[in-house]
Amino acid sequence: MNRFRVLATSLVALAASAAGAEQGFYQYPSARGDVLVFASEGDLWRTGRDGGTATRLTSHVAEESDAHVSPDGTMVAFTASYDSDQDVYVMPVAGGAPRRLTFEGGMLRTVGWTPDGKVIYASRLTGAGQGEILYTVAPSGGEATPIPLWRATDATYGQDGRTIFFSRQGLTARARDNAVLYRGGGMDQLWRWQTGSAAEAAKLLPDFGAPIRFPMAYGGRIYFISDKSGADAVWSVGEDGSGVAKLSPEMPFPVLQASLDRGDVYLQNGADIHVFSTADNSLRKLSIDIVTDREQTRLRSIGDPLSQLEAARISPSGESVAVTARGRVALGAPKHLRRIDFSIPLQARGRQAVAAPKGDRVFMILDQGERGDIYAMPADGSGEPMPVTRGYGAYIWSFALSPDGKTLVLWDKQARLQKVDIATGRVTLLATDDAGDDQPFHDLVFSPDSTHIAYAQVSRRNNANTTEIFVQNLASGARVKATSGKYNDYAPTFAHDGAWLYFLSDRNFDPTPGNPWGDRNMGVAFPDRGEIYALQLDPAAEFRFREDNELTRKPDEKAEDEKPASTGKDEDDKKDEKPKPARIVLAHIVLDGLAARLYKVPVDPGMSEGLLASKDFLYSRKDEKLVSIAIDKSDPKVETFADKVRSAEISADGKTLLVVTGSSKSPKLMLVPAKAKLPEKAEPNVVRLDDWRLTVDPASEWKQMFVDAWRLHRDFAYDPAMRGVDWNAVRARMEPLMQRIGHRAELNTVLGQMASQLGILHSQVRPGDLPKDGENSEMAFLGARYTPVSGGLRIDSIFRSEADLVSTRPPLTRPGVDVRVGDVIRSVDGRPVASLGALRMELASKAGQEVRLDLARGGKAMSTIVEPMTFDGEVTASYHDFVEGRRLAAEGLSGGKIGYLHLRAMGPEDVASFARDYFAQLDKDGLIIDVRNNNGGNIDSLIISMLMRRAWAFWAKPDGTGVPTTNMQNAYRGKVAVLIDERTYSDGETFAAAIKSLGLAPLVGKRTAGAGIWLSDRNRLSDNGAVRVAENAQYAADGTWIVEGRGIGPDYEVENGPHATFEGKDAQLEAAVSLLKQEIARDPVRPLKPGPLPALGTPASDVTPLGPR
């Protein structure tokens, strides 16, 4: 023991204690000898193993985590963002400069130490994103050595120093879910492997039936954390798998980290560190104080609040815009008019603010406490918010104000449309919806005289995929359905005088393609469906788009060639006269028979998203353009008003447009005249918000976000009964933790613990506004694997990709680049590289730039120019290499008769990937569809529909030559097998469930994760973070709740062993190939061969049912 260091530490702690200390939020405990290292406020701290006042070890702006003290107690390894988004570092426990050990830039985590003093970390980057690989690296630096185990996460060494006990799977490894009592396919497992052995690892406690987390070896036993008894507790089992026992009482909170030293198990729990003694089975909470300036809780100035813009609503007069960002509200205007900031209470979040018609007040939703209500504030920014509604009983989506300023109409998550009298706060129900959508009311607008509203409402027809237009009298409550419901009708807007209601309707069906033939034809789409229609609200009103004929033209309306020529008399006198504004006579709205008074506006289809009306123009979206349509019976000209418009809104008086352009991170708002085109010089019309700054009190904002997340979970969770969990009690138990946090990341930890109490997946925490180091270099990569050799780095392998897709090739295989396996990289841009770290450092910040590589090939010097790729590019390239490797393996195992495709997720890019790969393999006798490690999405039905196509007939030449064409077109006739595993997630599981339920193919592999409740991600917090909450449960056709928490089981269970898989074997793929070969041999695909044609006069045959698959 270094007595001087211990004495110095004690003196520092004593001095700090005298200065005044407080409790923090403690995570990642790791003890060795007399020292305990932990994390708090995003930094690492050191104290005694029994607690006391701690000393801060690090002070970087970003978070340090995953602390692990070395076996000799002198070093601490951890994960940090000093030079990249994420890498592994070590530093002395006594303090000092950290040393960087890895150069990967992300997707890794510090795991611990080997008995001989090497750092262990887990990397997903080198596992092609499909799973973790453990590595060891010396604390002095150098090349990392893999531990040859696939999908190993945590690790500990047994008594002999050679047997490694490790975890596989787990919620954190797969998707960072937060769920108690999880029993799905991805439960943490405990495995054992003898280092250096060629034998496969063995699973310990295979029938334990609950997660086994944080394995820790001591005294011939493996200690671990499990909630098998109903909540997390310390358990142990012998190294041979015998004598499993629960040792500790159940902990009050989920255990988020655990470590062991000298028989003491250190547990992160709630905001504290607890110690369980294996000697006497006692449990105690450590008393730890930190002396801190709480730097992360100091007031912050947010310089770009528009990057978090939530809403922008034009004032009725068109003079200003109410903007909402990060829960704060401001009124902005062009030129030099004062921006008005509103004093939103710290415990509240403002939403959907809009100015009143008279300009004297601003209305907004304020979410605070248990409910959200609508409030009003003086428009000059003074005063306090005054409630309009009180204790409203549901989540309010938004609201609209009447032109006379007396009424507002809101719509809520309980599918209600309600009228609110602003003067009294009285709430009157206008409509409800029973189609099952919690947000069924859209595009609500008031008539100019404030007597009626129009809106789109989700219809029960068309499987609730469309909306229909309603018009409602606010005084009587009478409403009529103004459209039939057959088509999707939306975006109603009143004419300037209220005589007409224009709306968009998807009634143009121009199919693309128009037939089932052709390459990769997956079905018909109908682009450009939107057309503009009009409903005659006032039966006496003229349709301003219909050109007059000889019967409808008024006597005083003459054609231009019939009018007498101007004499010029009195013309000069009239020039100086100011035009008098035309008096608008408001219409008489008649609801009876409204649906029958339907007109079509004579413009081409292709309109979408929204529709606005002024006296002289309609405005709508066409592609990325905002277009104007002249309300002109002789020439309804369509012109581009502005290009690349994100959104648009019109003032209540119809004279001004709010046009939003730019990107989501840098939007530009303009208030422009409602004319045919955007003014040539638009800058004077830009709303001045570039100088908007928000002062944020982090501690108050964190508390507000905690309550907001709690409320959003209550309001959005799929089960209104919250699975029987007392949600108020959860808040009461979790909220005191907020007093302890000192960093935004710690809020995420608390939010994750809160969400976990519902025990459901899709419960990840989106990080929000975490402090970052803006000076870090962006890592860059070449897409290869290397070994250090004399004089440089030898290229051992280059990522494979589909040769036909040049854009997906990694840098070293792109056109014009001559680099081969076996070449030695000697220098980058003239600077020598002798290690992987040196290569990565030289490439840093050069992604997409030309870089010169000097190489040696067989004793010959050569050079080439390459463009390195980003971290995301490296991840994608390694994934393509994984897929290409599996495709080649399936081809080799089957002699080219069995095809292979992998679906990484279930989104637009993945349906494109399916189209590329599936149709190119229709001639194969067998096909493997791999959804292992699938991240989910929502396209399962598109793929299932293709697999359900069956060939019941074909076209061919009578002699059988050529390629026959099946009916149904592009139907696959071979055998299919689907690969699944414990990391098949969300829609990947729904796809597997459909395959199984419909009997389309056997499932091969392991039970899936069990993320079966779908969601919308509409519950963002004010800083754009979120705690995801699952909203829509899935049921089988018989009403049985499916998938969630269990997963979909395989028809053929096959384990991919950790050691064999690391060595390149894929037992699941091999099993699928073997199964398909057997099926093909048993029931081969019969060739499509036409039979002989009978003689003239003999008709063709009828058809017979095909029977089951």
Yes or no: say if 883 and 905 are a contact pair by the CB < 8 Å rule.
no
Which of 869, 888, 916 is where one domain is finished?
A: 869
The verdict on 261 and 138 lying in the same domain is: yes
Across the range 1041-1057, mean pLDDT stands at 98
Looking at 220-348, which runs of residues are DSSP E strands? 221-226, 233-238, 245-246, 255-261, 264-269, 272-277, 282-285, 287-290, 300-302, 309-314, 321-325, 328-332, 340-341
Q: How many residues make up the chain in this entry?
A: 1109
841 CB-side CA count, 13 A: 12
Yes or no: say if 85 and 116 are a contact pair by the CB < 8 Å rule.
no
Dist CA 390 CA 395 (whole Å): 13
Active-site annotation holds for 880: no
CATH code where residue 58 lies:
2.120.10.60
Identify the pLDDT of residue 348: 97
Least confident range of 333-337, 907-911, 937-941:
333-337
The verdict on 864 and 901 lying in the same domain is: no
Here the tokens at position 899 are: 């095809």
**Residue 1073 class from Cβ within 10 Å (0-12 exposed, 13-18 middle, 19+ buried)?**
buried
**Strand partners for 852:** 865
Structural domain range at position 722:
697-766
Strand-pair category, 213-218 with 221-226: antiparallel
Yes or no: say if 147 and 133 are a contact pair by the CB < 8 Å rule.
yes
Identify the pLDDT of residue 129: 79
920 domain residue, yes or no: yes
Q: Which of 986, 989, 1022, 1059 is catalytic?
A: 986
Which one is predicted more confidently, 12 or 1011?
Answer: 1011
Across the range 540-568, mean pLDDT stands at 69
Yes or no: say if 791 and 766 are a contact pair by the CB < 8 Å rule.
no
Here the tokens at position 651 are: 């003032």
The verdict on 934 and 920 lying in the same domain is: yes
Single-letter amino acid, residue 360? D
Identify the pLDDT of residue 7: 32
**Residue 574 class from Cβ within 10 Å (0-12 exposed, 13-18 middle, 19+ buried)?**
exposed
19 domain residue, yes or no: yes
The verdict on 884 and 861 lying in the same domain is: no
Determine the 3-state secondary structure of 686 from DSSP.
Answer: strand
Q: Which residues are within 8 A (CB) of 243 and not within 5 positions of it... i.e. 6 or more apart?
A: 221, 236, 237
The verdict on 232 and 141 lying in the same domain is: yes
**Strand partners for 906:** 937
809 domain residue, yes or no: yes
Closest by CA to 652, choosing from 799, 466, 446, is 446
Dist CA 1053 CA 1059 (whole Å): 18
Looking at 169-240, which runs of residues are DSSP E strands? 189-194, 202-204, 213-218, 221-226, 233-238
1087 domain residue, yes or no: no
Q: Give one DSSP letter per residue of 736-781, joined into a string.
A: GGGGT--SHHHHHHHHHHHHHTT--SS-PEE--S----TTPPPP-B
The verdict on 908 and 803 lying in the same domain is: no
Q: Which helix (H) or strand (E) holds 166?
A: strand 163-168
Determine the 3-state secondary structure of 165 from DSSP.
Answer: strand
Across the range 7-26, mean pLDDT stands at 59
Quick one: pLDDT band at residue 126, thresholds 50, 70, 90?
Answer: confident
Q: Which residues are within 8 A (CB) of 335 and not within 5 positions of it... i.e. 6 or more apart?
A: 684, 688
Burial 666-682 (b: 16+ CB within 10 A, else e): ebbbbbbebebebeeee
The verdict on 941 and 1078 lying in the same domain is: yes
Which one is predicted more confidently, 100 or 125?
Answer: 100
Q: How far is CA 534 from the centre of its chain?
A: 38
Dist CA 270 CA 801 (whole Å): 47
Which of 838, 869, 900 is where one domain is finished?
A: 869
The verdict on 75 and 196 lying in the same domain is: yes
pLDDT tens digits for 512-528? 999 999 999 999 999 99
* pTM of the predicted model as reported, rounded to 2 decimal places: 0.94
Closest by CA to 627, choosing from 530, 525, 524, is 530
**Residue 954 class from Cβ within 10 Å (0-12 exposed, 13-18 middle, 19+ buried)?**
middle
Q: Which of 274, 452, 713, 762 is catalytic?
A: 762
Determine the 3-state secondary structure of 1001 from DSSP.
Answer: coil
pLDDT tens digits for 686-739? 999 999 999 999 999 999 999 999 999 999 999 999 999 999 999 999 999 999
CATH code where residue 813 lies:
2.30.42.10
Quick one: pLDDT band at residue 576, thresholds 50, 70, 90?
Answer: low
Please calculate the CA angle 851-855-861 and round it to the nearest 5 degrees: 125
Quick one: pLDDT band at residue 19, thresholds 50, 70, 90?
Answer: low
Number of domains forming the structure of the chain: 4
Which of 869, 897, 930 is where one domain is finished?
A: 869
Identify the pLDDT of residue 336: 85
182 domain residue, yes or no: yes
Identify the pLDDT of residue 4: 30
pLDDT tens digits for 52-96? 999 999 999 999 999 999 999 999 999 999 999 999 999 999 999
Active-site annotation holds for 1044: yes
Closest by CA to 1003, choosing from 1035, 981, 983, 985, is 981
How many CB atoms sit inside 10 A of residue 488's CB?
19
Whole-number percent of the chain with pLDDT over 90: 92
CATH code where residue 725 lies:
3.30.750
Residue the block writes with tokens 């091969």 = 1004
409 domain residue, yes or no: no
Determine the 3-state secondary structure of 173 from DSSP.
Answer: helix
**Strand partners for 418:** 410, 429
The verdict on 138 and 258 lying in the same domain is: yes
Closest by CA to 1015, choosing from 1005, 1001, 1026, 999, is 1026
The verdict on 914 and 1054 lying in the same domain is: yes
431 pLDDT more than 80: yes
CATH code where residue 936 lies:
3.90.226.10
pLDDT tens digits for 358-391? 999 999 999 999 999 999 999 999 999 999 999 9
3-state secondary structure 443-480: EEEECCCCCEEEEEEECCHHHHCCEEEEEEECCCCCEE
The verdict on 833 and 712 lying in the same domain is: no
Identify the pLDDT of residue 564: 53
The verdict on 63 and 154 lying in the same domain is: yes
Across the range 164-177, mean pLDDT stands at 92
481 domain residue, yes or no: no
Q: Which residues are within 8 A (CB) of 451 and not within 5 positions of it... i.e. 6 or more apart?
A: 473, 474, 475, 589
Determine the 3-state secondary structure of 683 from DSSP.
Answer: helix
Identify the pLDDT of residue 1: 32
964 domain residue, yes or no: yes
pLDDT tens digits for 38-50? 999 999 999 999 9
Identify the pLDDT of residue 175: 86
